[in-house]
Structure 1
């Protein structure tokens, strides 16, 4: 077991930590939370950092923990001068300091001072091509110092932005949030369904996690079905996309390993029901029918849906909220079928 530090994105307060835990559980690894801070999480775990970095969306980098010190500059430097840095003789290094929000009293020159403290121990500095990168994260009264093991491909998510996909419509989830939503289901293989697949952005992210994940989309609009197929084909995923009413899906009972969906809001999107409440009730009934017992789904909605979800038979495990603008707050519910 190793102590790993996850340097988290500031895009959301709660989703990044939940995503890390979900990915570790998806692979069956063990973990114990050793520290939880603003934009940083310390776990003792047997997880593979490289595998996690290829999957996670709301994490910047994964570090091997070296030490945790009080955030006062003098205390950090004292630890850097004496801690076991796990550097071999002759290995070069670079150190980067990240200050979360306004925590800590470090100055703009502190990164250089910290590097100098390590250099005085006889290790050469290389700013361009170091053998080892150290990161110091200053947050909530502590400095978390570690050796970088892996970093996520943030650029890859940017390259899959909605406007860069073959088929695009506004108002969809961004790729990093879509990937996080998929990860919260804890799927590692099998069939994942989006019953309101829209442009297919969430299914794209699911399919890119592993060739062992087969994505399935449904939509009542033919143009959405064609567009989703176009996007999934472009990214080389294993997919099926069905043109059908998601309130009456031609899918067997208890056959789907995971589900994700961003519910239509009933404004610019047509719904096949007498009212939005009847639509939600019918949709959740179908989702409950096709999900395997013990498996998870993530529902994204404009308004909280906990009562509707429990009325449909689901158990709500956790919820998150994300304010987009004054007229839209996204609600995320992680649910399971007992």
Structure 2
């Protein structure tokens, strides 16, 4: 593969790589005017983009672990051209080498890489400049790390660390994923009409939404969500509603992005309404309040075929993804365009 021009790498979450890749696409849709995915390997994506600052990707992401500048690619670390390309890209920059092999790809050790590269480079044990050597699916990629995800920053927003907790709340990493898949832009208006304890609203607020609308038919949930949003100092930009998701009290074309997790599963209440009936009515309302070409992201039990509801609501389905929850539940995440 030719790496002429600026090519970036992204390290994807191993648990749900297809979701991580869609999250990368979503963020690039929002943060750049142009991008192309040049190569996708196990755990790695190479892409080109005119994004203003590639660090934005890991700042926003829930399932992307790291981004960097790709320098050289080969099918062997013994290839002299590969080592030369790495050396010419780095010049006099001091680097520390870090080797990662995905699923055992690459029959070499970190010492082998050091022996191949360090005669040409200024290798240091304590340099803050990390030269990544990544092996996957028979290829070896050298890249200069730019930034890593700071997932520890999400720890303070985990469901049991919030003032108000309810069973079934999604963790902030997954909530962040949903919001990113909705293509929320900074300064945009975000809606979650099945808001629960406010997890999606918290992440939308942290991503720079100008207005976050958090609605739930259960007054205790709405008040609990408001308590959480106040605790994390998001309440100034958030409107919390006690409202029915099938009768959203908003005007037409007033929302830029919608992400939500309708009730289903062991710990959720649908107020005696079937998941399919409730979700189809919600999608009809979501179409009314969403701006043209905006995205609606929602989930449901795989065996209920949630994607069929988007089709029945005349939405354009752009993605379907599956996430194992427990033995009796596989969550299907549907991404649809208005």
Counterpart CA distance in 2 for 1:244 and 1:279 is 14
Return the alpha-carbon distance in structure 2 between the equivalents of residues 136 and 8 of structure 1.
Answer: 15
Structure-1 separation of matches of 2:83 and 2:156: 38
Instruction: Please list every run of 5 or more consecutive structure 1 residues that lacks an aligned counterpart in the other structure.
Output: none
1:14 alignment partner, SS class: helix
Displacement, 1:272? 4.4
The CA deviation at 1:292 is 1.4
Q: CA deviation at 1:322?
A: 0.8
Q: CA deviation at 1:227?
A: 1.4
Which position in structure 2 is the counterpart of 1:5?
Answer: 9
Q: CA deviation at 1:122?
A: 5.2
1:160-197 deviation digits (Å, cap 9, x = unpaired): 22222222223222211211111111111321100100
CA deviation map 1:42-74 (0-9, x unaligned): 01211221222211221111111111111x453
User: Which structure 2 residues correspond to residues 131-170 of structure 1 after superposition, within 5 A?
Assistant: 131-170=128-167
**DSSP-derived class of the 2:89 partner:** coil
Give the TM-score normalised by structure 2: 0.90
Q: What is the distance in 2 between the residues matched to 1:15 and 1:169? A: 26
Instruction: Give the aligned partner of residue 293 of structure 2.
Output: 294
The 10-residue stretch of structure 1 (116-125 or 179-188) with the greater mean CA deviation from structure 2: 116-125
Cα distance, 1:7–1:242 mapped onto 2, change above 3 Å: same
Count matched residues. 328
Q: CA RMSD in A?
A: 2.0
Match of 1:30 in 2: 34
Query: Secondary structure of the residue that 2:124 maps to in structure 1?
Result: coil
> Which residue does the alignment assign to 1:206?
204
Task: Report the CA distance between 1:273 and its aligned residue.
Answer: 5.9
1:185 is matched with which residue? Answer: 182
Name the SS of the counterpart of 1:278 in structure 2.
helix
Structure 2 CA distance for aligned equivalents of residues 321 and 197 of structure 1: 21
Describe the shift of the 1:164–1:105 C-alpha distance in structure 2 as closer, same or farther (beyond 3 A).
same
Q: Does 1:246 align with 2:245?
A: yes
C-alpha distance in 2 between matches for 1:254 and 1:281: 19
Gaps spanning 5+ residues in structure 2: where? none
Deviations 1:197-245 (A, max 9, x none): 01111111111011x4321111111111111112222222221110122
Structure 1 CA distance for aligned equivalents of residues 315 and 207 of structure 2: 26
- 1:220 paired to 2:217: yes
In 1, Cα distance between equivalents of 2:136 and 2:326: 27
Residue 67 (structure 1) aligns with? 72
Within-5 A mapping of 1:39-54:
39-47=43-51, 48-54=53-59
CA contact (8 A) 2:23 2:63 kept: yes
Q: Retained in 2: the 8 A contact 1:272–1:279?
A: no
SS of residue matched to 1:61: strand
Question: How many angstroms apart in 1 are the aligned matches of 2:48 and 2:144?
Answer: 15
Change (3 A) 1:186 1:281: closer
Task: Give the whole-Å Cα distance in 1 for the aligned partners of 2:171 and 2:233.
Answer: 19
The CA deviation string for residues 270-297 of structure 1, in whole angstroms up to 9 with x for no partner, is 3346544332232222222211121111
TM-score (norm 1): 0.90
Distance between the aligned counterparts of 1:329 and 1:253, measured in 2?
33
